[in-house]
Chains A and B, each alone.
Chain A
């Protein structure tokens, strides 16, 4: 039986505090989100934080109004927020939406024997959705805790969760995931569709 890993997306100051709406929804989600990460750590599952770093020559990176690039390597705004970090966590740099796009994530997960990933973070309809799809294409069993993903607009989050459950992931709230995990010591693959 393979291991389970939790992936977080973009838990960084430059992302979380970008807009008042996002700051507010993250503040609301944070207690049970960090609680879920702690529960997973207690059960021996590693948390991988996907850290978005904008490359200076990326023409598609979103710039600030003054033209400067946020999320630069080594800056405070690019650091993973300390309240989400725990002992044994792994930080993986990414430069695009999917955490697997030209990163070491897949190799790290394979080396660790991971076959199931729980994809969390923000925003649901961008980085969570693409990372989950990419994980699915690479053969992982993908779960998404619905209360540990965030979007500025709740309608975007809901639409994205519908897409995820329809195509490539099992969507459940964090309590249900922990209950299944405790009862079965595994998260069984519920998505029928598999790809060659």
Chain B
């Protein structure tokens, strides 16, 4: 007799236990789930252009101090839609569960998905559940795909110009430090929390305040960190991006931790931080609007795009510029 306190292989068999598990998930999602349990969700296409994205989530550990993999799975996809200027509408939800995962833990994840989806104003329209044997995944992996609709012009990397200011919406490095600290018990996990948050509301607020044109392009600073984002923009625009190291928003304890671990915070993954490229004439207005929102109270201008020396990223420190090299590989796996 299979225990219903934990996930068993039969929960993924397609038979009665599968149905029981799906019903439990659907009940927990509540009004966020709008699917009808058919093989596909049947939806009316929104007017105009849509944005689509997908992301898989394998974060280690899947349960951390102020969130879990479910929250990240909604935020990651919602934020990817929002930063290109789309309004997130629909998400899919794919779950791969390890045999033995306590049902209570699964429901913690689903509850976080529901709460975060409610905050972001998105609906879960379809889903899939698979169960694998012990050791074939680490407790739970998720995939979310998302669809958004454009109600304003898309934000593209190619629209960035020389002179644009580079703004960060908040501190960098906290998500990475929080997770690494929990993995090893480093002592920072109570002081440094993950920044994981759905940021579409922040961007709606920003565009309401500053209008179109003030913000040329936006990217969420996730895997690869700030350095990876700036390198992508430098390559796409063919321009030089220079930032000031002293202006980087980094919490004191995060400085301590990154110094201890030999990590540079500019390479650290985040889950609730935006990098914005802004018309210099609108810099002050954008900063003021950002700082008025709970997810960007510490927004700061860190640098600018220059015609410069081609597609390079420069970091200014003590009055001197040094080239920020692009990392060749991922030093820090499974942060999202």
Contacts and interface: CB of A to CB of B under 8 A. Distances in A.
A133 B186 contact: yes
A59 B138 contact: yes
A1 interface: no
A133 B184 contact: no
Interface stretch (A17-25, A28-36, A73-81, A91-99): A91-99
Contact of A98 (B138, B186, B259): B186
B260 A129 contact: yes
Contact of B184 (A60, A100, A131, A167): A60
Nearest to B187: A134
A101 B259 contact: no
Interface string B250-265: 0011001101100000
B185 A163 contact: no
Interface in A115-142: 125, 129-131, 133-134, 137
B253 A137 contact: yes
Contacts of B183: 60
A94 B138 CA distance: 23
Nearest to A94: B185
Given A59-B60, A195-B252, A133 B185 contact: no
A178 interface: no
B190 interface: yes
A137 B191 contact: yes
Contacts of B184: 60, 96-97, 130
Contacts of B253: 137, 195
A60 B60 CA distance: 10
A195 B191 contact: yes
B260 A133 contact: yes
A182 interface: no
Contacts of B150: none
Contacts of B185: 94-98, 101-102, 130
A60 B259 CA distance: 21
B314 to A, nearest CB: 27
B188 interface: yes
A150 interface: no
Contacts of A168: 256
Nearest to A160: B260
A129 B188 CA distance: 11
Interface in B117-142: 138
A94 to B, nearest CB: 8
Contacts of A102: 185
B259 A133 contact: no
A101 to B, nearest CB: 3
Contacts of A94: 185
Contacts of B191: 137, 195
A167 B188 CA distance: 13
Contacts of B188: 133-134, 137
A97 B186 CA distance: 6
Interface string B292-331: 0000000000000000000000000000000000000000
B187 A137 contact: yes
Contacts of B186: 96-98, 101, 130, 133-134
A130 B259 contact: no
A123 B3 CA distance: 43
A110 B295 CA distance: 36
Contacts of B190: 137
Interface string B167-185: 0000000000000000111
A125 B186 CA distance: 11
Given A163-B259, A167-B256, A195-B252, A133 B187 contact: yes
16 contacts: A95-B185, A97-B187, A101-B185, A101-B186, A130-B185, A130-B186, A130-B260, A133-B186, A133-B188, A133-B256, A137-B188, A163-B259, A163-B260, A167-B259, A168-B256, A195-B252
The 6 closest A-B pairs by CB, nearest first: A96-B185, A134-B187, A101-B185, A98-B187, A130-B186, A130-B187
